[in-house]
Amino acid sequence: MSFEFRLKRRVQFYETDAAGIVHFSTYFRYLEEAEHALWRDAGLSIAMRGSLIGWPRVSASFEYFRPLRFEDEFEAHIRIVEIAEKRIRYNCSLTRGVDRIATGTMTIVCVEKKPDQPMKAIPIPAEILSRIQVAPEGGPTS
Q: Which residues are catalytic?
A: 17
CB 12 within 8 A of CB 74: no
Q: CA-to-CA distance for 58 and 108, rounded, in angstroms? A: 6
